[in-house]
A and B are shown apart, each in its own frame.
Chain A
Amino acid sequence: MRSLVDSSIELRPRLGPTILASLWPIVVGIAFAVAMQLFVKPNINDYFAKQLLDIGISIVLAVSLTMVNGFTGQFSMGHAGFMAAGGYAAGAVCYYVSLRIWGTGGARGSILSGMPLDPSGLPSFAVGDLLFLGSLLVGGLVSALLGFLVGLPSLRLRGDYLAIVTLGFGEIVRVLIQQTEPVIKTAAEAAQTPVLELPIHVGGALGFTGLPKYTSLFWAYLVAAITIIVAFRLKRSTFGRAFLSIREDEIASEVMGVNTTRFKVWAFVIAAFFAGVAGGLFAHTLGVGLSAEAAGFMKSFDVIIMVVLGGLGSISGATAAAIVFTLLPEVLRDPLATPAWIVVAILGVWASLSGLAAWRSREGGAERPWVMKLALKLLIPGACVVAIYLAGKNGIDLSPYRMIFFALLLILMMIFRPEGLLGVREIWEREAWSWLIGGRRKAVAASPPQGGGS
């Protein structure tokens, strides 16, 4: 008689096709990242290239935080702490290894790292790139380890404890970074310092200067692609689905019980890993001064806004929100000078505000007539676009009001469209847009049934 194991092996999909199927997203991701660097970068100005780079890093941060705040319903508020920790770890590895091996902290990358073609004819994937890749991994791992240490105690407790612990964690990271020693500038000095002491020479309050600037569009979008792929795998895992379906229901999540802790810790550790890698990217970006302030909670709040507005649990939503959030300050500063982007920004603002306009009819109240709904949908975003345009025309700088705008958006969104722009849906899923097309929302529970009862 055949055992259960045998028959289940038979049922398993064959290895070859499975690997192919799971490989194609990675291939597409690499191709996209290479194309960004080799074909897009040469055709745009440096300023726009920097914006694209920031967007790439923001996507990594937003999508990784979605894994925790979106998938598990826990709330981490220390993403910047993980980012800074990873950034410093990656920076220390990359800088001091360079100093020890080559005697300088300069970058020795290939064209993929945005370096000019080396006259000596180095291959397109240079040793420096490998070093950079390695240090990104180290940054991610250090951050993941910290994530484990922070996550384990607090994820056992009620959701909002994680918020306060992670917020405190970010502060600890910030303070500890400030205590570090000055950067060692010369190879001779670095050679005399014991290897294990090198990581504490990361600049203290002055910031970590002199890092090799490897980060390019290629690296940023490669990491972004990998983050998105991992996020999808996590979301579609058995646990991921279970979590998304019960996240809103506290009683049901209590019933899920102890098993959930493992998934929560995993999601948290993976998210911390990618935040660390994002920190590594950030640290090696041209024109960035890495300092302890990177760990501050204002940066964490930025990422939270992206995740919430995108829809807690929507990977594509978080990506879209990261793009809009990164571009919006520029648009608000001088909308008329950025004609090419205004379309993007307006679309973003329009889409997020339309979410608000999907005004729910109050419980027990009469359904609003569709004319009014349509008016609301068009009026609010329309007014915003007009306001931004008028401000630009009159030379008013709206960027100081940026955070006020986002804060109001958060509050209104939680009241009128609590699931965020897309909820847990992805952009290409039809349900994500039902509010726009005018599909009826499901009736909302009068109140959760408490206890058993008759």
Chain B
Amino acid sequence: MAGADPQTPPMLEVRGLDVHYGAIQALHDLSLSVKKGQIVTLIGCNGAGKTTTLRAISGIVRPSGGGVFYEGASITAAPPYRLVRMGIAHSPEGRGIFSNLSVSENLDLGAYARSDHDEIARDRERSLTLFPRVRERLKQNAGTLSGGEQQMLAIARALMARPRLLLLDEPSLGLAPQIVQTIFKIIREINERGTTILLVEQNAHMALKVAHYAYVLEVGRIAMADEAAVLEKSDAVRKAYLGVG
């Protein structure tokens, strides 16, 4: 566990969040917290509200109740672009690649909120070292990349914002097992370099392996929450999410 002191306040805290889509309530009184330096994962089935949680945190959907706090300050009503300036990067579901732009331009967009050119160049270099596949395709149109490459580009782009908190939405979705392995390896690497990560995953197996702490989401409510290692061994989780006896 990456040196989490129980006394320090969490980096991100979600308190009593309610989200409605029209008449349908997607999230019920949801609370969770992410400690600095950790990887926290949010696992659950399709439709459980995982993506909605991330979208509510980064201000894409407006919650009807509850609040979101980042480093002690409320960010509940903040528009998404403000959060980027505060050090939160969100790599959205479906990767959110701009397929009408080149790979290189996509990367640059990640640093849109920054103006420290030298540092940006350094971060760009660092991201490309992390993802050599992306470097090979810099000039290409981003729409021509394969799914795995697009996911790598999405993460590399999120890193360009030099985030302190990284929200990742299903990075393993639709990827071949080998690429999933690579991506999770990199996720751990990013965390070891000091970035806190909130990871939303359907692939509970991989997510629990890499995370420090985990929440299980069921139909818009937190069903379980514990250390990832503990949950991985719990019968309920093994049955429902890991497909083990």
A and B touch in the complex (CB under 8 A): yes
Interface residues of A (CB under 8 A from B): 363-364, 442-449, 451-454
A336–B154 Cα distance when bound, in Å, is: 69
- Is B120 in the interface zone, CB < 8 Å from A? no
User: Knowing that A454-B50, A454-B51 are A-B contacts, what are 6 other residue pairs whose CB atoms are under 8 Å apart, sorted by A's residue number?
Assistant: A442-B23, A443-B20, A445-B22, A447-B21, A451-B94, A452-B46
- Is B62 in the interface zone, CB < 8 Å from A? yes
State the Cβ distance, B128 to closest chain A Cβ, in Å. 29
Q: Mark B1-23, 1 if CB is under 8 A from A, else 0.
A: 00000000000000000011111
Whether A443 lies near B93 (C-beta < 8 A) is no
Given A446-B64, A447-B62, residue A453 in contact with residue B51 (CB < 8 A) = yes
Q: Mark B34-72, 1 if CB is under 8 A from A, else 0.
A: 000000000011111111100000001110100000000
- Is B134 in the interface zone, CB < 8 Å from A? no
Whether A453 lies near B93 (C-beta < 8 A) is yes
13 contacts between A and B (CB under 8 A): A444-B22, A445-B20, A446-B21, A446-B62, A447-B60, A447-B62, A452-B47, A453-B50, A454-B49, A454-B51, A454-B170, A454-B200, A454-B217
Whether A454 lies near B52 (C-beta < 8 A) is yes
Given A453-B51, A454-B202, residue A364 in contact with residue B23 (CB < 8 A) = no
A444–B170 Cα distance when bound, in Å, is: 29
Given A442-B23, A454-B202, residue A447 in contact with residue B50 (CB < 8 A) = no
State the Cβ distance, A441 to closest chain B Cβ, in Å. 12
A449–B49 Cα distance when bound, in Å, is: 11
Q: Is the interface of A mostly helix, strand, loop or mixed?
A: loop
A298–B196 Cα distance when bound, in Å, is: 60
Chain A residues lying within 8 Å of B46, measured Cβ to Cβ, are 452, 454
State the Cβ distance, B56 to closest chain A Cβ, in Å. 9
Closest to B45 in A: A454
Given A454-B46, A454-B52, A454-B202, residue A449 in contact with residue B21 (CB < 8 A) = yes
State the Cβ distance, B65 to closest chain A Cβ, in Å. 10
Chain B residues lying within 8 Å of A452, measured Cβ to Cβ, are 46-47
Chain B residues lying within 8 Å of A451, measured Cβ to Cβ, are 93-94
Whether B202 lies near A446 (C-beta < 8 A) is no
A446–B22 Cα distance when bound, in Å, is: 7
Given A453-B93, A454-B46, A454-B200, residue A446 in contact with residue B20 (CB < 8 A) = yes
Closest to B62 in A: A446
Closest to A364 in B: B62
Interface centre among B51, B60, B200 (most CB of A within 10 A): B51
